[in-house]
């Protein structure tokens, strides 16, 4: 447990215990600077096909509580932002051994280890080495998306509906949206037939099909669904069949097919519309969905599942019901955040009311000028203002696309205004660097399915 972090200049109205991760991390590095115990720490996360991401920082060589807390939270963030099945720990052995125990099948972060094993097909492990011997970074070198030529099909699979578009040289000539209920279906053929029929409807509107691109919720690695709520009812013995649906489609159509996480495709859509690179997209919906395009126009294949990444270092903060960990993004940037703040706002809603309905009620109160609802949005704005600089420590971006139901209407304006105020006061350099965008008619002209259609390169 860390010592008291510096107090934020602007406090969260409904969450006075909020301890921004960025403030603790900055204070830790400030106190460490110039000390004789300051040593490098290099963390390398290895994932599919030998791809590796690196993160470099400095720590104390002593395994004091502050250092252990700092390193554990950094490792947690990296696992869910970058993804991987093997952590190359290049730092003090005593700290690495502590991380080995925490991130094991019996450790405090056994949930994270299990999920990485599901995503990458290997048991998660922490390999202790020296900073100098951590492997060099190796990320995807192919520019993702923006391939507009030819006759393409794009699809976007969501929890309650899916969309498909037929796209000729970048222009959508057909678009359809179809409701479905994938999470309650135990037969993998349900998912296949829905997707297959949608592709055929789109193909009927074009003279040929040159490529297929897809966007889907969940963790997707090498065109396979590894973890996804869309497949939650599929029995274990049939999961491999369901997970390989995109590869099955690619074989049948015999054209290039690329499928990516919906967060990454959201970032791609924003980048295409704004004609910018270095884009982090954050969607505040039922959970927090994130996507990233680097300044070279690449989508790196990172997980970007920041719903599980820590942003609040208050150890008494509410725990995520799935992972059991405290202070993670889902409880700060989603409908779950709104629900979490209702008691503090003194807003009572029926117990049986689900999250989307609760958000609607708060939006109604906002329209009626209820100050309690405004405080909820102000609090989320403070969360966001202190989290953007934190994200900058892990992602290199100049543009941020903010979207999702939580940010719609007047409440969304309050979130963005408060976030800008926080950054200007506490992190002026970040405020000057980052341009925040919200979906307008300009950004909406490139839909999710259309952006997905641009993912594959055509065969030569």
Sequence-distant (6+) residues with CB within 8 A of 336 are 286, 287, 330, 355
What is this structure's pTM?
0.90
Calculate what percentage of the chain has a pLDDT beyond 90: 77
Sequence-distant (6+) residues with CB within 8 A of 90 are 40, 41, 42, 43, 44, 129, 130, 131, 132, 133, 134
pLDDT, mean over the chain: 92
Asked, colleague to colleague, whether 151-262 and 268-444 share their fold, the answer is yes
Other CB atoms within a 10 A radius of the CB of residue 177 amount to: 13
Judged against a pLDDT cut of 70, whether residue 460 lies above it is answered with no
Judged against a pLDDT cut of 90, whether residue 97 lies above it is answered with yes
Query: What beta strand segments (E) does 49-184 contain?
Result: 52-60, 86-90, 125-129, 151-157, 161-168, 171-179
Beta-strand relationship, 86-90 and 125-129: parallel
To the nearest 10 degrees (0 to 180), the angle between helices 371-392 and 355-367 is 120
Average confidence (pLDDT) over 261-269: 85
Judged against a pLDDT cut of 80, whether residue 396 lies above it is answered with yes
Three-state DSSP at 157 gives strand
Which residues pair with residue 319 across a beta bridge?
326
Spacing of C-alpha 416 from chain mean position: 19
Q: Which of 30-44, 149-163, 357-371, 372-386 has the lowest mean pLDDT?
A: 149-163
Binning pLDDT at 50, 70 and 90, where does residue 169 land?
Answer: very high
Average confidence (pLDDT) over 192-209: 97
Output the pLDDT for position 4: 62
Binning pLDDT at 50, 70 and 90, where does residue 445 land?
Answer: very low
Output the pLDDT for position 174: 94
Judged against a pLDDT cut of 90, whether residue 305 lies above it is answered with yes
d(CA 303, CA 456): 19
Average confidence (pLDDT) over 398-418: 93
Judged against a pLDDT cut of 80, whether residue 283 lies above it is answered with yes
| 167, burial (CB in 10 Å: exposed 0-12, middle 13-18, buried 19+) | buried
d(CA 112, CA 110): 5
Other CB atoms within a 10 A radius of the CB of residue 161 amount to: 12
Output the pLDDT for position 442: 47
Nearest CA among 253, 259, 276 for reference residue 216: 259
Binning pLDDT at 50, 70 and 90, where does residue 161 land?
Answer: confident
Nearest CA among 371, 387, 385, 392 for reference residue 421: 385
**Is the alpha carbon torsion for 380, 416, 398, 276 positive or negative?**
positive
Average confidence (pLDDT) over 119-145: 89
Nearest CA among 418, 263, 405, 266 for reference residue 339: 405
- 72 is written with which tokens? 């554990």
d(CA 278, CA 300): 12
Please name the fold of domain 268-444.
Nucleotidyltransferase; domain 5 (3.30.420)
Q: Where are the domains of the chain?
A: 21-133, 151-262, 268-444
Judged against a pLDDT cut of 80, whether residue 82 lies above it is answered with yes
Output the pLDDT for position 144: 66
CATH numeric code, 151-262: 3.30.420.40
Judged against a pLDDT cut of 90, whether residue 60 lies above it is answered with yes
Binning pLDDT at 50, 70 and 90, where does residue 271 land?
Answer: confident
Binning pLDDT at 50, 70 and 90, where does residue 143 land?
Answer: low
Which has more pLDDT, 442 or 326? Answer: 326
């Amino acid at each position: 447990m860390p010592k008291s972090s510096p107090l934020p200049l602007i406090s969260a109205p409904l969450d006075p215990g909020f301890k921004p991760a960025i403030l603790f991390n900055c204070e830790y590095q400030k106190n460490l600077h110039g000390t004789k115990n300051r040593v490098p720490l290099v963390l390398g996360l290895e994932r599919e096909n030998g791809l590796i991401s690196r993160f470099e920082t400095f720590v104390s060589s002593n395994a004091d509580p502050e250092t252990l807390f700092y390193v554990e939270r950094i490792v947690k963030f990296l696992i869910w932002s970058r993804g991987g099945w093997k952590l190359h720990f290049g730092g003090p052995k005593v700290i690495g051994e502590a991380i080995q125990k925490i991130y094991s099948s019996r450790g405090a972060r056994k949930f994270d280890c299990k999920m990485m094993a599901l995503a990458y097909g290997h048991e998660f492990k922490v390999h202790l080495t020296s900073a100098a011997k951590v492997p060099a970074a190796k990320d995807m070198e192919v520019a993702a998306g923006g391939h507009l030529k030819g006759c393409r099909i794009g699809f976007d699979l969501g929890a309650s509906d899916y969309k498909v578009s037929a796209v000729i040289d970048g222009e959508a000539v057909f678009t359809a949206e179809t409701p479905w209920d994938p999470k309650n279906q135990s037969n993998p053929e349900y998912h296949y037939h829905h997707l297959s029929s949608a592709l055929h409807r789109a193909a009927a509107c074009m003279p040929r099909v040159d490529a297929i691109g897809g966007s889907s919720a969940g963790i997707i690695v090498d065109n396979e669904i590894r973890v996804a709520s869309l497949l939650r009812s599929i029995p274990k013995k049939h999961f491999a069949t369901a997970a390989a649906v995109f590869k099955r489609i690619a074989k049948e159509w015999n054209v290039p097919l690329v499928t990516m996480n919906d967060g990454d495709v959201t970032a791609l859509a924003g980048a295409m519309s704004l004609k910018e690179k270095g884009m982090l997209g954050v969607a505040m919906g039922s959970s927090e969905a994130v996507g990233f395009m680097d300044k070279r126009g690449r989508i790196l294949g990172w997980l970007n599942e920041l719903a599980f990444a820590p942003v609040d270092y208050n150890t008494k903060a509410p725990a995520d019901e799935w992972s059991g960990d405290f202070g993670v993004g889902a409880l700060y940037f989603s409908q779950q955040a709104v629900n979490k703040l209702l008691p503090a706002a003194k807003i009572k809603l029926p117990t049986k009311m689900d999250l989307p309905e609760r958000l609607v009620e708060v939006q109604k109160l906002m329209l009626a000028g209820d100050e309690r609802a405004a405080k909820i949005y102000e609090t989320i704005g403070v969360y966001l203002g202190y989290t953007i600089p934190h994200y900058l420590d892990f992602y290199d971006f100049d543009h941020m696309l903010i979207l999702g139901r939580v940010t719609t209407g007047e409440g969304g304006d309050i979130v963005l205004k408060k976030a800008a105020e926080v950054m200007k006061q506490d992190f002026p350099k970040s405020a000057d660097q980052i341009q925040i965008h919200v979906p307008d008619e300009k950004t909406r002209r490139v839909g999710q399915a259309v952006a997905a259609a641009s993912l594959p390169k055509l065969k030569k």
